[in-house]
Amino acid sequence: MKINRKAILLAIVSLIFIVIPSVIPMFLPSELLNAFSRMGGIDLQSLLNNAALIGTLTTILILLNSLFEKSTAIGLTLTIISNVLWLFIIVFFLSLGNLETPGLATLSSQSESALNMVTFDLRLFVILVTVITILRILHSIFEFHEARIFKSQDVKEDDDATEVSD
């Protein structure tokens, strides 16, 4: 098993998604966070916590992916999990952190006498991202099978070369 430098660099960059959401609330006054939550209809603290969790999972998957080759079953499993995680991340941000309604982002603001509500229907994008994720998983499976075939052919050729040299 080896760790490549590109994976370590990607893991360090993805750590930004852990640190920034954790640090932002410390520098902003709590009144601003509450006002943003009331006016935007988004629980900002929950959104930042979820973003930090996503950053943690992404970092772990990047490091684990760098440890295993794609021709191993663990490598294939990690690639599939990584693709599903990216689907989750995109749906999470398209829904503005509300996974109960994937693709529907609702912003609302209330004043003394009026309630303003805007709903963004992004379900088509969620469907497209889901189809793309399924295609990427199928591509990963095909790459896995191809790598296994080439690996078994290389081993067979090495055995034949060993027999000829004896």
pLDDT in tens, 7-19: 777 777 777 767 7
- Bridge partners (DSSP) of residue 108 are 117
pLDDT band at residue 3, thresholds of 50, 70 and 90? Answer: low
pLDDT band at residue 48, thresholds of 50, 70 and 90? Answer: confident
Position 23 scores a pLDDT of 77
Position 137 scores a pLDDT of 95
Average confidence score pLDDT of the chain: 79
Boundaries of domain holding 32: 5-165
Q: Determine the Cα–Cα distance for residues 1 and 147; give it in Å rounded to an integer.
A: 17
Q: Which range has the worst mean pLDDT, 34-43, 89-98, 120-129?
A: 34-43
pLDDT top residue among 157 and 86: 86
> Is there a contact between 25 and 48 (Cβ–Cβ < 8 Å)?
yes
Q: Determine the Cα–Cα distance for residues 78 and 66; give it in Å rounded to an integer.
A: 10
Phi, psi (degrees; rounded to nearest 5) at 72: -95, 155
Q: Determine the Cα–Cα distance for residues 34 and 40; give it in Å rounded to an integer.
A: 10
Q: Which range has the worst mean pLDDT, 44-48, 98-102, 121-125, 144-148?
A: 44-48
Position 128 scores a pLDDT of 95
Domain count, the chain: 1
